[in-house]
Amino acid sequence: MVIYTVTTHTGKTLLSGTTSLIYIQLRGSEAKSEEKNLNPLKGFLPGSERTFKINCKASLGELISVKLYSKPFMGLLYNQWFCDKILVNTPEGDEILFPCYCWLDCNEKLILRPAKASLVFQDTNLIAQRQRMRQLEEQQKLFRWRVYVEGTPQVIDYETPFALPAEVRFSFTKESDFFSSAAKQLAALKLTGLADSRKSWESLSQLGVIICENRGKTIEYVQEHWDEDEFFGYQFLNGLNPMMIQCCSKLPENFPVTDDMVKDSLRGSSLEQEMKKGNIFLSDYKMLDGLVGNVVSGRQQYLTAPLVLLYCNPHGIMLPIAIQLKQEPSKENPIFLPTDSKADWKLAKIFVRNAEFGVHEVDFHLLRTHLLAEVFTMATLRNLPSPHPLYKLLFPHIRYTLQINIMARNRLISEDGAITLYAGVGGESLVKLLKRATASLTYSALCLPENISERGLESVPHFYYRDDGMKLWNIINKFVAAFLSHYYQSDAYVQKDTELQRWISEIFTSGFLGRDGSGIPSSLQTVTELVKFVTMVIFTASAQHASVNNGQFEFGGWMPNYPTALRNPPPKVKGQTTEDSILETLPDVGTTVNGMAVLRLLSKDSADHADRWRETDGRKIGHASRQTHLCSSRDA
């Protein structure tokens, strides 16, 4: 008779414990133990550690797995159990860790492998090999691809997050916090009687009433400075979407800005001279060209595809010097200038900020972080078993991706979702924009060092997204290189890892639709290639998502700085814009209120964010730094 000592560790979060019956079975290379009921008299409390003895007739050999199984108490009472880990002390004196860190639902089983990672060709035991293959077969049945929209990344084939396996669903605290926050926001807005109003704002000062207790230093700064050229230019570098601006060495043919137009902005210099110095920049929203605005509350909304020319002055301040609201130049598409009337210039910048909303939310937020993270998640769960080192590295970064994305599709971009109801770029225009963004997406655009270089932004001053982002990219890259080089000791290891090759192949075909022009590899041949790609995956799912998500309410809570929709078409001539016509163009009261509620909800930290890797302090560095610089930028 030999004795195995098993110690269970229950999670510490609310409702992690269970009163369900938990059974365990040890599997070794020589034999397996009998199933043992671990809680015949009492359940598992949150944060508890419990120790059990498992008697076996003889040694089980090398421990290969632990099976956990849950049944309802007395056949009636059941609830989920969050198991952190299982420790097994063998008769030979070894202590073996079996990490879990996921929920076990009723009548569900979990097969846990030892913490020690292994590549597929290193798992030589036949039982271990069969378990590895069986796990992937089961995962591929659970996590199935489906086409969301032709020409866009594929998604998981679940209509509701509640159908997801427990291991990738929100914790109870996170889920309850999310829904209570949403309810709290909307209830507060309903109480004010504004959420259903179709009236125009009588003045911009009226907007202060819907900020309420959510007011902070950043949003106060935005409210005070939103219509100033300096802050308008600052946001191209350090706002919600620092991804559009690029150095301009030659004006586009469809943007006929002359030296005479911008002579006051350039203080006697010329466009050619300043372009040679690297001081002229461009943001081109051509991706929006030809899209028809959504219908919001029965009223047609209008989209534009602006071109914005910017000048980095001798003080290092980025300033707008010309705006054209449509792609094709004409008499009815004037180029707006800072020397125009204050109302004309303000309205032109409002149309640019509305274009920012569309491109930022659909391309740089939805596609490049959420949908790509879903692709990485699906490929990982379908092709990498739990013993694989890359699975262990990636899982904390992708764990909640599937649930949040399903919720977004159901609540934000569905036919009755918030974006469809309250955004000018919702509905058909959103689908078309998403297709265009997917077709133009490249690997280099997702790799920060290459992206910065391609846009010619290596030396532009006060670019805190670049400065903070590069620090985080390099930190992630250094860690990933050290981690993966431990397991992949040569390029040959990469080449013969069949699980890894299926992983990258699915990302290429299901995420990037097999487009060779995307630059995404369809296979990996070297450790260097692998390290770069995994760095991109983690950066995309963590730091990049934070940079385009966490400040949505702070930068967009003051609606004129980030209008979700515009009710009038762009002006065809100069000199006719008034403050009243600006108010008539901005979203109505109800659209404003509901749009801001969504931004507030998406920006809010969840109650359990300290426990989630996607909310690490490191990921916050960039956004916090940019807030600090924002409040002092006027002194730059």
Which range has the top average pLDDT, 178-182, 204-208, 402-406, 592-596? 402-406
How far apart (Å, rounded) are the C-alpha atoms in residues 626 and 615?
17
Query: Is residue 339 one of the residues assigned to a domain?
Result: no
- Residue 105's pLDDT is what? 83
Instruction: State whether 184 and 108 are in the same domain.
Output: no
Tens digits of residue pLDDT in 80-123 = 899 999 999 999 999 999 999 888 888 888 899 999 999 999 98
What does the block give as tokens for 454? 């391609």
Instruction: State whether 373 and 234 are in the same domain.
Output: yes
Query: Is residue 596 one of the residues assigned to a domain?
Result: yes
Query: Is residue 302 one of the residues assigned to a domain?
Result: no
Decide if pLDDT at 240 tops 90.
Answer: yes
Q: In residues, how long is the chain?
A: 636
Tell me how far apart the 2 most distant CA atoms of the chain are, in Å.
Answer: 95
Query: Is residue 56 one of the residues assigned to a domain?
Result: yes
Instruction: State whether 83 and 188 are in the same domain.
Output: no
Query: Is residue 342 one of the residues assigned to a domain?
Result: no
Residue where a domain terminates, one of 80, 97, 116 = 116
Instruction: State whether 634 and 491 are in the same domain.
Output: yes
Instruction: State whether 596 and 463 are in the same domain.
Output: yes
Instruction: State whether 400 and 549 are in the same domain.
Output: yes
Instruction: State whether 187 and 110 are in the same domain.
Output: no
Tens digits of residue pLDDT in 573-612 = 999 999 999 999 999 999 998 888 888 888 876 555 544 4
- Residue 19's pLDDT is what? 86
How far apart (Å, rounded) are the C-alpha atoms in residues 363 and 434?
6
Residue type, position 604, single letter: K
Phi then psi for 58, rounded to 5 degrees? -155, 170
The pTM of the full predicted model, rounded to 2 decimals, is 0.90
Decide if pLDDT at 553 tops 60.
Answer: yes
For 333, residues 6+ apart whose C-beta sits below 8 A from its C-beta are 324, 325, 326, 572
What does the block give as tokens for 349? 């910048």
Q: Provide the CATH number for the domain around residue 29.
A: 2.60.60.20
Residue where a domain terminates, one of 116, 150, 167 = 116
Q: Of 60-64, 69-73, 461-465, 617-621, give the lowest mean pLDDT range.
A: 617-621
* Residue 485: alpha-carbon gap to chain centroid: 27
Query: Is residue 315 one of the residues assigned to a domain?
Result: no
Averaged pLDDT for residues 485-507: 98
Asked if 70 and 106 count as a contact pair (C-beta separation under 8 A), the reply is yes
Sheet holding 280-284, edge to edge: 246-247, 280-284, 307-312, 318-324, 335-336
Q: Provide the CATH number for the domain around residue 585.
A: 1.20.245.10
Cα distances (angstroms) measured from residue 120 to each of 481, 539, 553: 20, 26, 45
Phi then psi for 312, rounded to 5 degrees? -90, 110
Give all strands (DSSP E) within 90-160, no chain letters. Answer: 95-104, 109-112, 145-146, 155-156
pLDDT band for position 635 (cuts 50, 70, 90): very low
Phi then psi for 497, rounded to 5 degrees? -85, 95
Instruction: State whether 189 and 91 are in the same domain.
Output: no
- Residue 634's pLDDT is what? 30
How far apart (Å, rounded) are the C-alpha atoms in residues 359 and 433?
8
Query: Is residue 519 one of the residues assigned to a domain?
Result: yes
Instruction: State whether 87 and 213 are in the same domain.
Output: no
Instruction: State whether 197 and 102 are in the same domain.
Output: no
Print the domain residue range for 521.
Answer: 179-242+353-636
Query: Is residue 272 one of the residues assigned to a domain?
Result: no
Instruction: State whether 111 and 186 are in the same domain.
Output: no
Arithmetic mean of pLDDT over the chain: 90
Instruction: State whether 577 and 430 are in the same domain.
Output: yes
pLDDT band for position 124 (cuts 50, 70, 90): confident
Residue where a domain terminates, one of 116, 132, 165 = 116
What does the block give as tokens for 528? 């260097």
How far apart (Å, rounded) are the C-alpha atoms in residues 119 and 273?
57
Q: How many domains does the chain have?
A: 2
Tens digits of residue pLDDT in 399-412 = 889 999 999 999 89
